[in-house]
Amino acid sequence: MSRWRYLSDKAPLFVVLLLVCLYGSQLSCGYFASYDLTENNKNCFCELEGSINDCGCEVDTVDHFNNIKIYPRLKSILVKNYFRFFKVNLHHQCPFWSDDSKCAMRFCQVQNCEEQTIPPGLKEQGYNHNFMRPAAYKYSPEAQDPECSDANDFNSILGLIDTSISDQAHKEFELWAKHDQAEEDFCIIDENEEGCQYVDLLLNPERYTGYKGDSAHRVWSSIYLENCFGVQNKSNTFSDYLAQMDLHKMCLEQRAFYRIISGLHTSINIHLCSKYLLSETKDFLAPQGIWGPNVEEFKRRFSPETTNGEGPHWLRNLYFIYLVELRALSKAAPYLRREDYYTGIVEEDQETKMAINDLLSVIESFPNHFDENALFSHSPQGIRFKYEFKEKFRNISRIMDCVGCDKCKLWGKLQTQGLGTALKILYSEKLNIATESGLWDKPHIEADPIFRLKRSEIVALFNAFGRLSNSIFEMENFRKSLR
Asked whether residue 220 is marked as a ligand-binding residue, the answer is yes
Asked whether residue 301 is marked as a ligand-binding residue, the answer is yes
Measured distance CA(457)–CA(95) in Å, rounded: 23
The CA–CA distances, whole Å, from 203 to 107, 111, 198, 344 equal 12, 7, 12, 21
Asked whether residue 265 is marked as a ligand-binding residue, the answer is yes
Amino acid occupying residue 320: F
Measured distance CA(413)–CA(425) in Å, rounded: 18
Asked whether residue 207 is marked as a ligand-binding residue, the answer is yes
DSSP conformation letters of 230-243: S---SS--HHHHHH
The CA–CA distances, whole Å, from 172 to 175, 445, 448 equal 5, 21, 20
Q: What share of the chain is helix, strand, coil (3-state, %, to 5)?
A: 55, 5, 40
Measured distance CA(66)–CA(466) in Å, rounded: 10
List the catalytic residues.
405, 408
Measured distance CA(8)–CA(5) in Å, rounded: 10
Burial degree of 35 (CB within 10 A; 0-12, 13-18, 19+): middle
Beta strands in 163-206 (DSSP E): 197-200
Measured distance CA(319)–CA(324) in Å, rounded: 9
As annotated, the binding site for FAD includes: 207, 209, 220, 262, 265, 301
As annotated, the binding site includes: 207, 209, 220, 262, 265, 301
